[in-house]
Copies of this chain bind each other. A is one copy, B any other.
Amino acid sequence: MIEKLLLKLRARDTISAEEERALEDAVSEVREIPDNKTIVSPGEELAVSTLLLDGFLARYKDLRDGQRQITELHVPGDFADLHSFTLKRLDHNVGTLTPCKIALVPHERLERITEAFPHLTRLLWFSTNLDAAIHREWEVSLGRRSAFARVAHLFCELYHRLSIVGLTDGLSYDFALTQTDVSECLGLTAVHVNRTLRELRESDLLEFRGRKVVISNLAALQAAAEFDADYLYLDSRPR
Protein backbone atom coordinates (compact mmCIF):
# COMPACT_ATOMS: atom_id res chain seq x y z
CA MET A 1 0.00 0.00 0.00
CA ILE A 2 2.82 2.40 0.80
CA GLU A 3 4.94 1.25 -2.19
CA LYS A 4 5.01 4.69 -3.77
CA LEU A 5 6.25 6.29 -0.55
CA LEU A 6 8.93 3.61 -0.40
CA LEU A 7 9.88 4.26 -4.04
CA LYS A 8 10.17 7.95 -3.26
CA LEU A 9 12.27 7.45 -0.13
CA ARG A 10 14.42 4.67 -1.56
CA ALA A 11 15.34 7.01 -4.41
CA ARG A 12 17.07 9.07 -1.68
CA ASP A 13 18.39 6.57 0.88
CA THR A 14 18.21 2.92 1.83
CA ILE A 15 15.43 1.72 4.10
CA SER A 16 15.74 -1.39 6.22
CA ALA A 17 13.04 -4.05 6.46
CA GLU A 18 12.42 -3.01 10.03
CA GLU A 19 11.98 0.64 9.03
CA GLU A 20 9.67 -0.41 6.22
CA ARG A 21 7.53 -2.28 8.73
CA ALA A 22 7.47 0.72 11.06
CA LEU A 23 6.18 2.87 8.22
CA GLU A 24 3.54 0.34 7.24
CA ASP A 25 2.39 0.04 10.83
CA ALA A 26 2.09 3.80 11.09
CA VAL A 27 -0.93 3.84 8.77
CA SER A 28 -4.18 3.66 10.70
CA GLU A 29 -6.72 3.98 7.93
CA VAL A 30 -7.24 4.40 4.19
CA ARG A 31 -9.84 6.66 2.62
CA GLU A 32 -11.16 7.61 -0.80
CA ILE A 33 -11.96 11.29 -1.32
CA PRO A 34 -13.79 12.88 -4.28
CA ASP A 35 -12.18 15.76 -6.15
CA ASN A 36 -12.28 19.37 -5.02
CA LYS A 37 -12.66 18.52 -1.35
CA THR A 38 -10.79 20.24 1.44
CA ILE A 39 -8.98 17.71 3.64
CA VAL A 40 -7.28 20.13 6.03
CA SER A 41 -8.16 23.73 6.81
CA PRO A 42 -5.79 26.34 8.25
CA GLY A 43 -5.67 26.50 12.02
CA GLU A 44 -7.37 23.15 12.60
CA GLU A 45 -5.82 21.01 15.35
CA LEU A 46 -4.31 17.98 13.68
CA ALA A 47 -3.53 14.57 15.13
CA VAL A 48 -2.92 12.71 11.86
CA SER A 49 -0.86 13.25 8.74
CA THR A 50 -1.97 12.40 5.22
CA LEU A 51 -0.08 10.13 2.89
CA LEU A 52 -1.26 10.40 -0.70
CA LEU A 53 -1.69 7.01 -2.35
CA ASP A 54 -3.43 8.01 -5.55
CA GLY A 55 -4.53 11.25 -7.25
CA PHE A 56 -3.38 14.86 -6.95
CA LEU A 57 -3.54 17.00 -3.85
CA ALA A 58 -2.73 20.69 -3.48
CA ARG A 59 -1.56 22.80 -0.59
CA TYR A 60 -3.06 26.24 -1.07
CA LYS A 61 -3.80 29.55 0.60
CA ASP A 62 -6.93 31.59 -0.01
CA LEU A 63 -6.86 35.35 -0.34
CA ARG A 64 -9.50 37.81 0.70
CA ASP A 65 -10.56 38.59 -2.86
CA GLY A 66 -11.26 34.93 -3.63
CA GLN A 67 -8.01 34.20 -5.42
CA ARG A 68 -5.90 31.33 -4.25
CA GLN A 69 -2.26 30.41 -4.54
CA ILE A 70 -1.30 26.75 -4.65
CA THR A 71 2.04 26.43 -2.87
CA GLU A 72 2.75 22.81 -3.78
CA LEU A 73 1.24 19.98 -5.75
CA HIS A 74 1.37 16.49 -4.28
CA VAL A 75 1.76 13.31 -6.29
CA PRO A 76 1.24 9.74 -5.07
CA GLY A 77 3.87 8.73 -2.51
CA ASP A 78 3.96 12.22 -0.99
CA PHE A 79 3.29 12.79 2.68
CA ALA A 80 1.11 15.82 2.04
CA ASP A 81 1.09 17.20 5.55
CA LEU A 82 3.82 15.40 7.40
CA HIS A 83 4.91 18.84 8.59
CA SER A 84 1.75 19.06 10.67
CA PHE A 85 3.42 16.55 12.99
CA THR A 86 5.66 19.32 14.38
CA LEU A 87 3.46 22.29 13.45
CA LYS A 88 0.30 20.84 15.10
CA ARG A 89 -1.88 23.00 12.84
CA LEU A 90 -1.31 24.26 9.32
CA ASP A 91 -1.09 27.71 7.79
CA HIS A 92 -2.72 26.50 4.59
CA ASN A 93 -5.41 24.23 3.15
CA VAL A 94 -4.85 20.79 1.79
CA GLY A 95 -7.39 19.76 -0.82
CA THR A 96 -7.98 17.26 -3.60
CA LEU A 97 -7.72 18.35 -7.22
CA THR A 98 -8.76 14.92 -8.50
CA PRO A 99 -10.40 11.97 -6.74
CA CYS A 100 -7.79 10.70 -4.28
CA LYS A 101 -6.93 7.72 -2.16
CA ILE A 102 -5.17 8.66 1.07
CA ALA A 103 -3.71 6.89 4.09
CA LEU A 104 -3.93 8.43 7.54
CA VAL A 105 -0.94 8.31 9.90
CA PRO A 106 -1.60 9.30 13.52
CA HIS A 107 0.95 11.69 15.00
CA GLU A 108 1.39 9.46 18.05
CA ARG A 109 2.75 6.75 15.77
CA LEU A 110 5.12 9.24 14.19
CA GLU A 111 6.21 10.28 17.66
CA ARG A 112 6.97 6.65 18.42
CA ILE A 113 9.12 6.55 15.29
CA THR A 114 11.08 9.59 16.52
CA GLU A 115 11.66 7.78 19.83
CA ALA A 116 12.79 4.47 18.34
CA PHE A 117 14.02 5.02 14.78
CA PRO A 118 16.47 7.94 14.51
CA HIS A 119 17.47 7.17 10.94
CA LEU A 120 13.89 6.83 9.75
CA THR A 121 13.14 10.05 11.60
CA ARG A 122 15.86 11.81 9.66
CA LEU A 123 14.42 10.40 6.46
CA LEU A 124 10.98 11.77 7.27
CA TRP A 125 12.59 15.06 8.21
CA PHE A 126 14.35 14.96 4.84
CA SER A 127 10.99 14.50 3.17
CA THR A 128 9.67 17.75 4.67
CA ASN A 129 12.90 19.48 3.69
CA LEU A 130 12.34 18.29 0.15
CA ASP A 131 8.94 19.97 0.18
CA ALA A 132 10.69 23.16 1.27
CA ALA A 133 13.14 22.82 -1.63
CA ILE A 134 10.17 22.59 -3.99
CA HIS A 135 8.69 25.71 -2.37
CA ARG A 136 11.96 27.54 -3.03
CA GLU A 137 12.04 26.56 -6.66
CA TRP A 138 8.45 27.78 -7.00
CA GLU A 139 9.47 31.08 -5.42
CA VAL A 140 12.05 31.45 -8.17
CA SER A 141 9.43 30.70 -10.82
CA LEU A 142 6.90 33.06 -9.30
CA GLY A 143 9.41 35.83 -8.71
CA ARG A 144 11.61 35.72 -11.77
CA ARG A 145 10.48 33.42 -14.56
CA SER A 146 8.32 34.44 -17.53
CA ALA A 147 4.94 32.79 -17.96
CA PHE A 148 6.41 30.58 -20.66
CA ALA A 149 9.27 29.36 -18.47
CA ARG A 150 6.98 28.94 -15.46
CA VAL A 151 4.60 26.62 -17.24
CA ALA A 152 7.47 24.68 -18.77
CA HIS A 153 9.16 24.39 -15.37
CA LEU A 154 6.09 23.02 -13.64
CA PHE A 155 5.67 20.26 -16.19
CA CYS A 156 9.36 19.35 -15.94
CA GLU A 157 9.06 19.08 -12.17
CA LEU A 158 6.00 16.88 -12.39
CA TYR A 159 7.66 14.68 -14.97
CA HIS A 160 10.55 13.90 -12.60
CA ARG A 161 8.42 13.52 -9.50
CA LEU A 162 5.97 11.20 -11.22
CA SER A 163 8.77 9.29 -12.86
CA ILE A 164 10.35 8.08 -9.62
CA VAL A 165 7.04 6.66 -8.41
CA GLY A 166 6.43 4.90 -11.70
CA LEU A 167 3.63 7.15 -12.97
CA THR A 168 5.12 8.21 -16.28
CA ASP A 169 4.85 6.37 -19.55
CA GLY A 170 7.88 7.41 -21.56
CA LEU A 171 7.64 11.20 -21.75
CA SER A 172 3.96 11.41 -20.92
CA TYR A 173 1.84 11.25 -17.81
CA ASP A 174 -1.76 11.46 -16.72
CA PHE A 175 -2.59 14.84 -15.31
CA ALA A 176 -6.27 15.50 -14.68
CA LEU A 177 -6.02 19.10 -13.45
CA THR A 178 -7.68 22.06 -15.12
CA GLN A 179 -5.88 25.02 -16.62
CA THR A 180 -7.29 27.06 -13.75
CA ASP A 181 -5.55 24.73 -11.27
CA VAL A 182 -2.30 25.23 -13.16
CA SER A 183 -2.77 29.00 -13.15
CA GLU A 184 -3.19 28.90 -9.38
CA CYS A 185 0.16 27.15 -9.06
CA LEU A 186 1.93 29.65 -11.26
CA GLY A 187 0.54 33.02 -10.17
CA LEU A 188 -1.01 33.56 -13.60
CA THR A 189 -4.55 33.81 -14.91
CA ALA A 190 -6.21 30.84 -16.53
CA VAL A 191 -6.50 32.83 -19.75
CA HIS A 192 -2.77 33.43 -19.85
CA VAL A 193 -1.97 29.82 -19.05
CA ASN A 194 -4.13 28.84 -22.00
CA ARG A 195 -2.21 31.17 -24.32
CA THR A 196 1.10 29.90 -22.96
CA LEU A 197 0.12 26.27 -23.44
CA ARG A 198 -0.62 27.10 -27.05
CA GLU A 199 2.86 28.61 -27.42
CA LEU A 200 4.43 25.50 -25.89
CA ARG A 201 2.48 23.34 -28.29
CA GLU A 202 3.46 25.50 -31.25
CA SER A 203 7.10 25.32 -30.14
CA ASP A 204 6.88 21.51 -30.16
CA LEU A 205 7.90 21.28 -26.52
CA LEU A 206 4.82 20.01 -24.74
CA GLU A 207 1.21 19.09 -25.20
CA PHE A 208 -1.33 19.16 -22.36
CA ARG A 209 -4.78 18.15 -23.54
CA GLY A 210 -7.43 15.75 -22.38
CA ARG A 211 -5.99 15.13 -18.92
CA LYS A 212 -2.67 14.02 -20.32
CA VAL A 213 0.73 15.68 -20.64
CA VAL A 214 3.00 14.67 -23.50
CA ILE A 215 6.50 16.11 -23.55
CA SER A 216 7.75 16.34 -27.11
CA ASN A 217 11.30 17.41 -26.36
CA LEU A 218 12.46 17.09 -22.77
CA ALA A 219 15.91 18.64 -23.27
CA ALA A 220 14.47 21.68 -25.02
CA LEU A 221 11.67 21.98 -22.46
CA GLN A 222 14.13 21.91 -19.58
CA ALA A 223 16.33 24.47 -21.33
CA ALA A 224 13.38 26.79 -21.91
CA ALA A 225 12.43 26.46 -18.24
CA GLU A 226 15.99 26.76 -16.97
CA PHE A 227 15.15 23.55 -15.14
CA ASP A 228 17.79 21.80 -13.06
CA ALA A 229 16.64 18.69 -11.19
CA ASP A 230 19.19 19.16 -8.40
CA TYR A 231 16.54 20.67 -6.14
CA LEU A 232 14.68 17.34 -6.16
CA TYR A 233 17.62 15.60 -4.46
CA LEU A 234 17.37 12.47 -6.56
CA ASP A 235 20.60 10.90 -5.30
CA SER A 236 20.52 7.97 -2.89
CA ARG A 237 22.85 8.39 0.10
CA PRO A 238 22.86 8.03 3.88
CA ARG A 239 20.77 10.81 5.43
Chain B residues near A135 (CB-CB < 8 A)? 71, 132, 135-136, 139
Binds B, one of A60-68, A169-177, A190-198: A60-68
Main secondary structure of the interface of A (DSSP, over half): helix
> Which residues of chain B have C-beta atoms less than 8 A from A69's C-beta?
139-140, 143-144
Q: Is B126 a contact partner of A129 (Cβ separation < 8 A)?
A: no
Chain B contacts of A68 at CB under 8 A? 144
Would you call A87 and B142 a contact (CB within 8 A)? no
Contact of A136 among B71, B133, B187 (CB under 8 A): B71
144-195 of chain A: CB within 8 A of chain B: 144, 186-187
Q: A91 with B137: in contact, given A129-B128, A230-B43 (CB under 8 Å)?
A: yes
Instruction: Decide: A129 near B231, CB < 8 A? Known: A71-B140, A114-B122, A121-B121.
Output: no
Q: Contact flags (1/0) for A48-88 with B, using CB distance below 8 Å?
A: 00000000000101011001110110000000000101111
How many Å lie between the Cα of A64 and that of B140 in the bound state? 12
Can you list, as one digit per residue, whether each of A116-133 has a CB less than 8 Å from chain B (1) or not (0)?
001001110110111111
A109 at the B interface (CB under 8 A): no
Report whether A63 and B140 are in contact in the complex, using a CB–CB cutoff of 8 Å.
yes
A106 CB, nearest partner CB in chain B, Å: 15
